[in-house]
Structure 1
Amino acid sequence: MTQSCFHCIQPLPADADFSVTVLGEPRTMCCPGCAAVAQAIVDGGMEDYYRFRTDKAVKAGDTDILQKLSVFDDKQLQQEFVVADGDCSEIQLTVEGITCAACGWLIERQLAKTDGIVQVAVNVAARRATVRWTDKTLPLSALLKVFSRIGYQALPFQPDQHEASYQREKKSYLKKLGLAGLMTMQLMMLAFALYFDWFDHVDTATRQFFHWISLLLCTPVVLYSGLGFYQSAWYALKAGRLNMDVPVTVAIFGAFSASAYATITEHGPIYFESMAMFIFLLLISRYLEHQSRHRAAQISANNMKHLPLTANKMIDGDVHSALARQLVAGDEILVRAGETIPADGVVSQGRSEVDESMLTGEFEPQSRQAGDNVFGGSINQSDVLYVTVSRPLKQSLISQIMRLQELAMAERPAIAGLADQLASYFVAAVLVISALTFWYWYDTGASHAFYIAIAVLVGTCPCALGLATPSALTSAVANLNRKGILIKRGDSLEKLTQITTVALDKTGTLTEGQFSLTSIQTTVEQHQALSLAASLEALSEHPIAKAFSNTECHQVSDGRVHIGQGIEGTINDMRFRIGSAAFIGAEIPAAWQSARVFLADESACIAAFWLSDTLRDDASELVIALADKPIHLLSGDAAPAVQEQAEKLGIEHQHAHCTPEDKLALIRQMQSQGQRVLMVGDGINDGPVLAAADVSVTLAAATDLAKSAADVVLLQPKLMHIPHLLTIAKLCRQKIRQNIGWALGYNLLILPLAVSGILTPWMAVLGMSLSSVIVVTNSLTLLKKD
């Protein structure tokens, strides 16, 4: 029987000797190309491609990188990690090789130049990128090739593979650190022996021998431990940019080359130990940054790690093990007590307590029974649940949150752009000042002119300036995620610090939004009025509609929802309207004026409904916490109901009978007076005003339109998270300013010392590393703020 290639299914040549371990077993390949593609699939965590494929793969042919990546153009494979959004596709990528903010800036700028790419958001702390692109213009393999061309390896994000990538980078850092540390110790011993003449007047031959030994020990540190700095600098220069690693690379190669030349010619100062220590300390600071970014990013990324790999799928009454990411809408799954719910769905049978803290930050278990929604990643705590899957894993609430969080980082605050610009200009200035310093000291005949220039390059390298903003932003967003506060726009944190006025919707925001019918007055049979009202309200998502949901309904034709006003439709060939007094357009009897909702037929008002709603437990606390700002209560309800709630809460500014247009006009009027408005709302009628406000906040239980328009989503209905949001925004701004101030202050302080020759290269090394560590440590204090 003729054997075939495991990848392309074509017959194996007689001399085929290529093998890749796939699905736990060694598989024979026909050529190096197929082996390379198969290895790429395994490394990318996509082995299920081979388990579920229906067609043979395209033969690889050669080992060109684009050919290796072409497997990701397979539509069946893309179903696991690509989300279609109209004509665009969206993907999250794990990006290896990111070391600092300049890397994210470089990737965003270079990808933005590529035809077909709509939006790029790079989260430096999480080492992830979210890309929106048009698949018809740019295949996924070509997109990944762009990353490769500028020096980064990008693969579809998967939590386990992303963590493995982090561990690989961590091991690489530790190997380089170990080598640099070991060699630095040996070099320092030789250097001290020579500097302090420990060997009692070492003769010239012995001294030269020590120099050669130092050259031998320093070479692997420069060529291996420092490799990452040179690669980063090279890719930046290829892209026509300057990053922090450019002066670092110039300093390392400059000092090493000069010391090597002095060793060979037996004339001139030797600084091998300083260069090794420079690389060692720089690696330590980068490693600490790497660890701290991972720590902060873990809080935001933990949601994905909660998802199980497998699920108990019900097929013809039997339980079968299946991959969680292969579940589709309509699948029935069994979730036992203690297991994690593998996908979003609706409980079809059973009742249990579910821990949703990974989404909301609220550790109190929630009771879930038949008809209730449950979310992937939450934990079933007590009894068995049968769940009907409502959407696949990549469209689950967790996945949506993660995508929104990544895209939020695309819109960074203005201060972030300022810091990036400053860092770029500072690098150019450092290179120029270093060159001028060398020229000055060389012209004066100083023998150590070159090393003074090296000290300028090292001491003033703006690494801390580049870390100032992203480290603070990442820590702030991680803190908010832990509280169940989702930031959809990266610039929201900065805008929150500028808020001067707060506008609050009433129904469903300050109140529970759970209406109950307390009284009815009608000119027809009561059950008839209720039935007509329920039929019309069934067309609406407004919380008031739920007050009529338990009543028998009629068929409604030509139904129309007028947002913020009411509903109209035809029932049994007669036109009816339900809503506010102004909307129904009929005369209201005097005794009915205090009602909240009115029902009218084609000739007159035929019913009035009185409804009750209760304030949220923390509504009063919110108003007290925001007492330093003017608060406006906006509502479409009648004036008596609005006034009653406003008096209970102590809100001075109240606006009743507000249509969506009225609310929008009020917000714009405030903005025209120079006020910066924070709007909190949750309904369909709040969509326009949420979009128009400087910053808008909504609740997770809000309508889809409100959540789409809002800048911030509270994943649990706790209004007191709004003051926490404002506090963290202010603290984040403070930390960014402190970081930038420290970074600039340090550089301005160290520059004259370096230029004057007082600062030696090893002193510059210590100062630069300490500066970066201080900035990152300062930002991490945001994680501890409750």
Structure 2
Amino acid sequence: MASSSQCYHCGLPNDSKQIFETQILGDTRQLCCPGCLAVAQAIVDNGLEDYYQFRTEPANKSDDSILSTLDELAVYNDPALQEDFVFDEGHYKQIQLTLEGITCAACGWLIEKQLSKVKGIKQVAVNVQERRALVTWLDEDIKLSQIMAGLKRIGYHASPFQADEHEASYKREEKAFLKKLGLAGIMTMQVMMLMAGLYFDWFGAIEQETRQYFYWVALTLTTPVVLYSGSNFYLGAIKALSAKTVNMDVPVTLAVFGTYIAGLRATLLETGEVFFESICMFIFLLLLSRFFEHRSRHKAAQISANMTQYIPVSATKVNADGTFSNCLAKQLRPEDIVFVKAGETIPVDGIVLEGTASVDESMLTGEFNPVNKRPTASVYGGTVAQDGALTIKVTQSLKHALVNQIVRLQASAMASKPKAALLADKFSRYFVSAVLVISAATYGFWTFVGNEDAFWITISVLVATCPCALGLATPSALTCAVAKLNKQGILLKRADALEQLNDIDTIALDKTGTLTQGKFSIQTAWFAEGVDKTTAMDIAVALEARSEHPIQQAFTGKIKHKVSDFEVTPGGGISGNVNGSAFSMGSASYCGVSLPANLPFVANVLLVSGKTLIAAFLVSDKLRDDTQATLDMLSQYQLMVLSGDTQENVNNIVNTLPIQRALGGLSPEQKFEEVQKLQQQNKKVLMMGDGINDAPVLASADVAVAVGNATDVAKTAADVILLGDSLLSVPQLLNVALSVKRKIRQNIAWSVGYNILILPFAIAGVLSPWMAVVGMSLSSIIVVTNSTRLLSK
């Protein structure tokens, strides 16, 4: 125990001029320097101060530079710097972090467990496959620099996610992987040749001195493999044990050091067996399986990362005097005007003011047919103007552009893990504990019966049953599935939605903009006696110009009137003051009037001044080209339509479609109630919609899909967003969900089945350590390879 004049952490003399102290185990302890104080405080803050109670030796003196490292992180608290990568989520802030030092699924669990205990952090979701963390926190309780410092203290370097830097981080990790893998591979070959020659007596009858010489050579070659190539596993084990838990790196570390120390002892004492070739092969094959995992998750992550690489650094800004100037794309703000030439990439999201062009949106939607853009059309950052020139008004800054939203939403998707993933994570931790107990019992039994190979049998049990494959079973399949959907223009906001899609038995669809094209036109119009048709149309155009509903497309023309006190009633209509008079447009029930008996058609849009009907319109659109094909592919589900349009219009649209039930004239509340009724009958409902009036029912459905050019409100309520304009994406989504379910089941069945099958052979002593090494590594490689097949289907 350190005296009061010695550092409680490292045992060295304390500084007589400066006092560093903190509370440890209920008492104030003196420390020698800022470095020891920082480390000791981190140990206490993480609930690990029992370390000081049970340690047998003082710790090493801490590096004083740790404080300067943590102080450097304070720069991330600067609001100006946060502007580029921190997003506001109501009262909370959210950031994506790139993490270095992640080796396996257990690292993600450890980070989530450690940070979730910190006051002010609402959510931590680690995506091990993409080496990212999504953190949501309350800035009043904790600062970003403190979150990053907390990660630094438990051994993980965090930095704000930026596509280029994230790729550089991957390259650094890949380079380190290859160095360790290369060293382990070369040394494994050398040691295998030496030891195989001894085992199979290829060298003939050799003297004991020569045999010992070969052992020393093998020991020399094995040592760098153990100390350098295998270091990732030991660090993972230390991180887990420091958090008072176990992961798959723990049995690996015990097996490696147990075999190495036993071989070292046998070499020094010139008695007993050595298995240096098994250690080298174990580390090499385990590194190889993790390298394959590393490469496969990067391949999946690249599909998402590719979205950001198309966004240009610069843009051509149109100044107030009509002149052009170059600026950084990230400096653009809403209402700025930019000019895009043919062949250039559109820098940010906006609306076309002038010009026409064919725009390649394949990087967003997965559809390679160019989309023709005209004035008032929306364009998105990262898409390419193939021909023509466009003048665009910016609607979103680069930070909030659609491509950046996609990357963020994908990170959010991995925050909600499916039940299968949670079960596998929990099972793997229990399985590791069971393996350790079984290994101890195996050693005890064989020692009791006097088997001199008890130690080596125990090592075989530790190696053969390492649950690496189980830890990879679910996350590897999910990552590949999300990447595949992204490539097809399907954005997933919740990973567990993939699991729920397999339970769906009912699909409810909105009509306007979902089944139909959402391109409305006025089929016929009626005007009250004495009403000037031109004036009435001008008023209708002015009101509809402010609406987000697709029906506004039918009312085109120059806006001649200013509108004040404008209001939208989802599922009902719109209202506002035009030239000092109150007008409303919408359904008859919303406007509070009755249709005249002499009206020659069933109007679905009325224009009313006060309580006086001044105009009536029949507005309709056409079915999408792929509606019939899509619904035919979904015929195994109960299909129904929930629409706010009149029942007559709904019937006209669905009479040729395989729809079992079609309800029209529904308000948003009534749509919500219909879905609730289905769910009360134990139906699992997928709802598809695109408008503001669909938001409540989308939020209540088991799985919600926002289709085509859905409103922002609908996208917020949805679980899945179709970036393209094709309904055929829905059957693709359901097929991928089914494939993921199969892959996860196959992976778990293989990994659990392998461990159950191999365990009796390992306990019985049938397997030698090298056989256990080969079996364990092949099991992990098979699981990763099976998951990657999702990308190619």
**TM-superposed deviation, 1:327:** 3.4
**TM-superposed deviation, 1:447:** 1.1
The alignment's C-alpha RMSD in Å is 2.1
**TM-superposed deviation, 1:236:** 1.1
Paired residue for 1:432, among 418, 433, 437? 437
**TM-superposed deviation, 1:320:** 5.0
Partner amino acid, structure 2, of 1:123: N
Alignment check: 8 A CA contact 1:631 1:652 kept: yes
Q: How does 1:80-479 map to 2 (within 5 A)?
A: 80-313=84-317, 320-479=325-484
Q: Cα 1:251–1:405, aligned 2, differ >3 Å: closer, same or farther?
A: same
Q: Quick check: 647-656 or 280-289, which moved more? A: 647-656
Instruction: State the partner residue of 1:652.
Output: 660
The answer to whether 1:581 aligns with 2:588 is yes
Residues 688-743 of structure 1 deviation map (CA, whole Å, 9 limit, x = unaligned): 00000000111241111111101111001100100000010011011101110111
Runs of 4+ in 1 over 6 A off after TM superposition: none
Query: Identity percentage over the alignment?
Result: 53
SS at match of 1:381: strand
Alignment check: 8 A CA contact 2:432 2:466 kept: yes
**TM-superposed deviation, 1:92:** 1.5
**TM-superposed deviation, 1:370:** 4.5
Q: Cα 1:396–1:784, aligned 2, differ >3 Å: closer, same or farther?
A: same
Q: Cα 1:569–1:155, aligned 2, differ >3 Å: closer, same or farther?
A: closer
SS at match of 2:698: helix
In structure 2, C-alpha distance between the alignment counterparts of 1:346 and 1:578, rounded to whole Å: 26
Partner amino acid, structure 1, of 2:400: Q
Unaligned runs of 5+ in 2: 1-34, 36-63
The answer to whether 1:682 aligns with 2:693 is no
Partner amino acid, structure 2, of 1:64: S
Alignment check: 8 A CA contact 2:314 2:329 kept: yes
Q: Cα 1:665–1:734, aligned 2, differ >3 Å: closer, same or farther?
A: same
Instruction: State the partner residue of 1:484.
Output: 489
Q: Cα 1:266–1:319, aligned 2, differ >3 Å: closer, same or farther?
A: farther
The answer to whether 1:497 aligns with 2:497 is no
**TM-superposed deviation, 1:181:** 1.0
In structure 1, C-alpha distance between the alignment counterparts of 2:580 and 2:378, rounded to whole Å: 37
Alignment check: 8 A CA contact 1:244 1:427 kept: yes
Instruction: State the partner residue of 1:527.
Output: 534
**TM-superposed deviation, 1:218:** 0.8
Q: Cα 1:182–1:405, aligned 2, differ >3 Å: closer, same or farther?
A: same
In structure 2, C-alpha distance between the alignment counterparts of 1:608 and 1:227, rounded to whole Å: 77
The answer to whether 1:669 aligns with 2:674 is no
In structure 2, C-alpha distance between the alignment counterparts of 1:602 and 1:332, rounded to whole Å: 39
In structure 1, C-alpha distance between the alignment counterparts of 2:324 and 2:546, rounded to whole Å: 39
In structure 2, C-alpha distance between the alignment counterparts of 1:351 and 1:543, rounded to whole Å: 21
Residues 652-679 of structure 1 deviation map (CA, whole Å, 9 limit, x = unaligned): 3010111111111110000000100000
Partner amino acid, structure 2, of 1:510: L
Instruction: State the partner residue of 2:570.
Output: 563
In structure 1, C-alpha distance between the alignment counterparts of 2:538 and 2:392, rounded to whole Å: 33
In structure 2, C-alpha distance between the alignment counterparts of 1:455 and 1:308, rounded to whole Å: 55
Alignment check: 8 A CA contact 1:190 1:210 kept: yes
Q: Cα 1:497–1:591, aligned 2, differ >3 Å: closer, same or farther?
A: farther
In structure 1, C-alpha distance between the alignment counterparts of 2:324 and 2:594, rounded to whole Å: 62
**TM-superposed deviation, 1:332:** 4.3
**TM-superposed deviation, 1:350:** 4.0
Alignment check: 8 A CA contact 1:698 1:714 kept: yes
In structure 2, C-alpha distance between the alignment counterparts of 1:429 and 1:121, rounded to whole Å: 27
Alignment check: 8 A CA contact 1:438 1:449 kept: yes
Alignment check: 8 A CA contact 1:150 1:239 kept: no
**TM-superposed deviation, 1:240:** 1.6
In structure 2, C-alpha distance between the alignment counterparts of 1:283 and 1:620, rounded to whole Å: 51
Alignment check: 8 A CA contact 1:539 1:561 kept: no
In structure 2, C-alpha distance between the alignment counterparts of 1:580 and 1:370, rounded to whole Å: 29
Partner amino acid, structure 2, of 1:135: D
SS at match of 1:648: coil
Alignment check: 8 A CA contact 1:147 1:153 kept: yes
Instruction: State the partner residue of 1:41.
Output: none
**TM-superposed deviation, 1:78:** 2.4
The answer to whether 1:766 aligns with 2:766 is no
SS at match of 2:381: coil
The answer to whether 1:541 aligns with 2:537 is no
The answer to whether 1:627 aligns with 2:635 is yes
In structure 1, C-alpha distance between the alignment counterparts of 2:362 and 2:611, rounded to whole Å: 53
**TM-superposed deviation, 1:575:** 4.5
In structure 2, C-alpha distance between the alignment counterparts of 1:327 and 1:444, rounded to whole Å: 77
Alignment check: 8 A CA contact 2:639 2:658 kept: no
Alignment check: 8 A CA contact 2:592 2:611 kept: no
SS at match of 1:64: helix
Q: Cα 1:603–1:201, aligned 2, differ >3 Å: closer, same or farther?
A: closer
Residues 545-565 of structure 1 deviation map (CA, whole Å, 9 limit, x = unaligned): 232242655454544332212
The answer to whether 1:695 aligns with 2:703 is yes
In structure 2, C-alpha distance between the alignment counterparts of 1:259 and 1:341, rounded to whole Å: 64
Instruction: State the partner residue of 1:47.
Output: none
Q: Cα 1:545–1:351, aligned 2, differ >3 Å: closer, same or farther?
A: closer
In structure 2, C-alpha distance between the alignment counterparts of 1:122 and 1:601, rounded to whole Å: 56
Paired residue for 1:728, among 729, 733, 736? 736
In structure 1, C-alpha distance between the alignment counterparts of 2:297 and 2:507, rounded to whole Å: 34
SS at match of 1:84: strand
Partner amino acid, structure 1, of 2:720: V
Alignment check: 8 A CA contact 2:591 2:611 kept: no
Provide TM-score, normalisation by structure 1: 0.89
Q: Quick check: 287-296 or 123-132, which moved more? A: 123-132
Alignment check: 8 A CA contact 2:635 2:658 kept: no
In structure 1, C-alpha distance between the alignment counterparts of 2:523 and 2:374, rounded to whole Å: 28
Q: Cα 1:83–1:557, aligned 2, differ >3 Å: closer, same or farther?
A: closer
Q: Quick check: 202-211 or 166-175, which moved more? A: 202-211
Q: Cα 1:144–1:603, aligned 2, differ >3 Å: closer, same or farther?
A: closer
Q: Quick check: 475-484 or 383-392, which moved more? A: 383-392
**TM-superposed deviation, 1:484:** 0.4
Alignment check: 8 A CA contact 1:587 1:604 kept: no
Alignment check: 8 A CA contact 2:490 2:722 kept: yes
SS at match of 2:656: helix
Alignment check: 8 A CA contact 1:308 1:342 kept: yes
Instruction: State the partner residue of 2:758.
Output: 750
Q: Cα 1:436–1:80, aligned 2, differ >3 Å: closer, same or farther?
A: same
Count of aligned positions: 727
SS at match of 2:655: helix
The answer to whether 1:638 aligns with 2:636 is no
Instruction: State the partner residue of 1:11.
Output: none
Provide TM-score, normalisation by structure 2: 0.88
Q: Cα 1:517–1:124, aligned 2, differ >3 Å: closer, same or farther?
A: same
Q: Cα 1:390–1:723, aligned 2, differ >3 Å: closer, same or farther?
A: same
